[in-house]
Amino acid sequence: MLLTLLTMSAVVFVLSLICLKAALSPVESRPELQADKKPVIDSRFFAGDRAAVLTPMLPREVLLAQIERHVRLEQAVAENFLELPSLETLHSPSQSQFVN
């Protein structure tokens, strides 16, 4: 019984060493990982022309007022969609200066 336990422990140890070696091998030696390089996407890819331009140092009250206005406009658009659900109201933009 002790011999079986030692044998199984050795097998598990060898298998974990093999897995560790495979995981730590460099990417250059693994061609299947080299083909998965993703293209770089612009940080404003989804924003388009509606990207908000804010000055870097706005007072906290002004920023909070802008956020509250944005939330009110988004809630109004959502209520409009709930009153009349359609594709046009679903994809209609709000009048907010922030990009959704």
What is the model's pTM?
0.40
- In a domain? residue 75: yes
Q: Are 58 and 40 in contact (CB under 8 A)?
A: no
Total domains in the chain come to 2
Tell the residue number behind the tokens 């730590």, with chain if given.
24
User: Which residues form the domain of 27?
Assistant: 1-36
- For residue 17, what pLDDT is reported? 92
- In a domain? residue 44: no
Q: Are 75 and 100 in contact (CB under 8 A)?
A: no
- In a domain? residue 84: yes
- For residue 28, what pLDDT is reported? 63
- For residue 91, what pLDDT is reported? 78
Same domain membership, residue 68 and residue 28: no
Q: What is the pLDDT of residues 8-49, one digit of tens each?
A: 999 999 999 998 888 887 766 556 655 556 666 666 666 655
The amino acid present at 35, given as its one-letter code, is A
Comparison of pLDDT for 82 and 57, the residue scoring more:
82
